[in-house]
Structure 1
Amino acid sequence: MTIEHLLVSTRHRYEGRPADGPLPAPEGEPEERETIELRAGLGAVGDRYFGHRAHRDAAVTVFDAASLDHVTAETGIRDLDPAATRRTITIRGFPIDSLVGRLFALDSGAGPVRFRGHRAANPCAWMDVTLAPGAFRALRGRGGVRCVPTDDGTLSLGPALLDDDPTPPADV
Structure 2
Amino acid sequence: MSTTVEVVALHVSPVHAYEGRPADGPRPDPEPVSRDRVVVRAGLGLVGDRYFNRPAHRRAAVTFFAAESLDHVAEALGLAAAPDPLLVRRNVVLRGFDVDALARHDVFALDSGDGPVRFEVGRPANPCAWMDAVIAPGAFAALRRRGGVRCVPLDDGVLGRGPAVLLA
* Counterpart Cα distance in 2 of 1:100 and 1:39: 22
Matches of 2:25 and 2:103, distance apart in 1: 30
Moved more, 74-83 or 3-12: 74-83
Q: For 2:82 and 2:67, how far apart are their aligned partners in 1?
A: 12
How many matched pairs? 162
Alignment match of 1:68 (pick from 67, 70, 73): 70
- The aligned amino acid for 2:146 is R
Q: Does 1:96 align with 2:99?
A: yes
2:84 equivalent in structure 1: 81
Partner amino acid, structure 1, of 2:52: F
What's the secondary structure of 1:90's corresponding residue?
Answer: strand
What is the CA RMSD across the aligned residues, in angstroms? 0.7
Which residue of 2 is the match for residue 109 of structure 1?
A: 113
SS in 1 for 2:59: coil
**Partner Cα distance (1:153, 1:86) in 2:** 21
Q: Specify the code of the residue in structure 1 equivalent to 2:132.
A: D
| TM-score, length basis structure 2 | 0.95
Matched position secondary structure for 2:115: coil
Where in structure 2 are there 5+ consecutive unaligned residues? none
- The residue number in structure 1 matching 2:155 is 151
Tell me how far 1:18 sits from its aligned partner. 0.7
TM-score (norm 1): 0.92
Pair 1:49-2:59 in alignment = no
Structure 1 gaps, min length 5: 165-172
